[in-house]
Amino acid sequence: MAEELSITATGKEEKYKQLLPQIKSLLQGESDSIANMANVCAALKYGMNFLWVGFYLVKENELVLGPFQGPIACTRISKGKGVCGKAWETSETVIVEDVELFPGHIACSSLSKSEIVIPIIINNKVVAVLDVDSDELSSFDQIDRYFLQEIINLIYL
Ligand code: SME
């Protein structure tokens, strides 16, 4: 395993394309999902320069904060609440271009401007969500959705 990520591209899609194989080798041979989620957070935060990257895990009837990188975050989110709770409730990816315009958005950091949340579904049940925040408006689109889903698929093989 390389000790450092190597991202030379400047465009988003190219960055993801460089990052994906590096994350793949980072996770290879490790079966612990918490360890893999933790390294994925670091790789995405530092490889893509996001404000906040983290997982919330479904525990009983709440989302509970899991591995993350970035500013401190709220620890528990109810079903249907905020962007994360919405992605859990609907089992759909939610892309928010301007968090101030999303009803019920939970502001963990005042620096967060846009957000994507992808549900992680195993046997038709959401078991966790991946939440990525940006300090710029409209940062996320179908490119992020595609590559973040590919990265999730590497964690839960
Ligand atoms: N903004 C999220 C809460 C989690 S933080 O962004 C880390 C939401 O509305 O669900």
Nearest Cα residue to atom 1 of ligand 1: 106
pLDDT at 131 over 60: yes
Q: What is the pLDDT, as a whole number, of residue 157?
A: 62
pLDDT digits (tens, 9 = 90+) for 9-67: 989 999 999 999 999 999 998 999 999 999 999 999 999 999 999 999 999 999 999 99
Report yes or no: 7 and 19 within 8 Å, Cβ to Cβ.
yes
Q: How far is the CA of 82 from the centre of ligand 1 (A)?
A: 6
Question: Best of 105, 109, 130 to mutate for ligand 1, by most ligand atoms within 8 A of CB?
Answer: 105
Q: How confident is the model at residue 4 (pLDDT cuts 50, 70, 90)?
A: confident
Q: How far is the CA of 3 from the centre of ligand 1 (A)?
A: 30
Residue 86 Cβ < 6 Å to ligand 1 = no
Q: Fold for 2-156, please state it.
A: Beta-Lactamase (3.30.450)
Q: What is the pLDDT, as a whole number, of residue 29?
A: 87
Helix/strand/coil for 150: helix
Write out the H or E segment, with its range, that includes residue 38. Answer: helix 33-48
Report yes or no: 27 and 155 within 8 Å, Cβ to Cβ.
yes
Q: How far is the CA of 33 from the centre of ligand 1 (A)?
A: 21
pLDDT at 2 over 60: no
- Break the chain into its structural domains and give their ranges: 2-156
Nearest Cα residue to atom 6 of ligand 1: 108
pLDDT digits (tens, 9 = 90+) for 74-123: 999 999 999 999 999 999 999 999 999 999 999 989 999 999 999 999 99
Residue 111 Cβ < 6 Å to ligand 1 = no
Q: What is the pLDDT, as a whole number, of residue 100?
A: 96
Helix/strand/coil for 119: strand
Q: Is 106 exposed, middle or buried (0-12, 13-18, 19+ CB in 10 A)?
A: middle
pLDDT at 145 over 80: yes
Residue 116 Cβ < 6 Å to ligand 1 = no
CA distance 144 to 55: 16
